[in-house]
Structure 1
């Protein structure tokens, strides 16, 4: 069995543990052997094993549960979210937005409060009245879509949407500057219909309208 041969020992031990997890030695949710077993296998002391486990716990791969042991919570180290979005093509980002916003629109129709609906209507009005720069128009559009997601009253959906905004914003600005855009009248109608579906608490219609709008946007970006 492979053992640690060079410093830093904890880093090396963490990498060896991760390799064994990736290889399928322990499945998702499995409990790791104790420190007294892992130490000799890795060729390190118990304190080094503990530090290696702490490293992998910090990366979301392991979880130490008081009195129960150490368990596998992921089968690999997740890539930094910002790096993923930076590398992803805009079409891929739009496809992910469809998954998020179609669901958010449905939940917004079910859960929106009078205050949330007022915020959506206000952002819709601002979006339609925006006659400033391209950047100002895109920002107004982002505020409208964020208001819809916020009305869904799901903090995870909202955080996911917010993580997309920087990547999406620049792509939308670039698209408008080179003249790629959906028909303005159809675009206005699509957003207006979405507002009214949410106001009417029609979750199915709100979801389908959100999806259709973003699919149209995706086609325009290709």
Structure 2
């Protein structure tokens, strides 16, 4: 993976192409956290600033996203999906909620039809994590746990294109969750997702779709 020595602009372009290939090949799938900067420097054999510029370019393109205190994640498989991400980031909350509804209602319906035992175990774990995050009283923890549950539901739909499109919507989705709960976790803002998971477990697509859409009215 070490790159040939060349001029700085050329090296940056080579690193961008190498990182893009890691994403396109599926080695770093959408939703994955990429290696840390020191590990990339070691693997590529280039300077820290070169790696930093290449990562910054892919963040600007909407392929990667830096999350404070967590790392850098793949949010789309290419620049076209990244353009979708940037457009959604600029959307009004009502528009973003409508897009969430379009994705999540169909995902819940498909999940009820296609979920496996492994999916159900993942759903139970994600639901338990969401409940624990709510009890913790920390907004950031709840937003992450709520988002994680919805990602698991989409995964249970077993539609690769839907999963990729939903991943490109990740930042906007999290923003709608954060806005929905506000600055503090209050009981009157709590939305129970147990019935949604139960409908998926029961294999009832109509009920799962209805439950998924019920808390996304605009």
Fold shared by both chains (TM-score > 0.5): yes
Task: Indicate whether 1:119 and 2:119 are aligned.
Answer: no
Q: Is the 8 A contact 2:139 2:184 kept in 1?
A: no
Bigger CA radius of gyration? 1
Q: Select the residue among 189, 200, 203 that pairs with 1:201.
A: 203
Give the whole-Å Cα distance in 1 for the aligned partners of 2:210 and 2:81: 32
Change (3 A) 1:135 1:202: same
Task: Indicate whether 1:139 and 2:144 are aligned.
Answer: yes
Task: Indicate whether 1:82 and 2:82 are aligned.
Answer: no
How much does 1:182 deviate? 7.5
* Number of aligned positions between the proteins: 137
Q: Select the residue among 101, 104, 107 that pairs with 1:104.
A: 107
Change (3 A) 1:181 1:84: farther
Give the whole-Å Cα distance in 1 for the aligned partners of 2:102 and 2:178: 22
Q: Is the 8 A contact 2:105 2:213 kept in 1?
A: yes
| Residue 213 (structure 1) aligns with | 215
How much does 1:78 deviate? 10
Q: How much is the aligned-residue C-alpha RMSD, in angstroms?
A: 2.5
Question: Unmatched 5+ residue regions in structure 2?
Answer: 1-79
Residue by residue, what CA displacement relative to the aligned partner does 1:192-218 show, whole Å, maximum 9, x if unpaired? 111110011000100111011221xx4
| Residue 94 (structure 2) aligns with | 91
Change (3 A) 1:106 1:182: farther
| Residue 33 (structure 1) aligns with | none
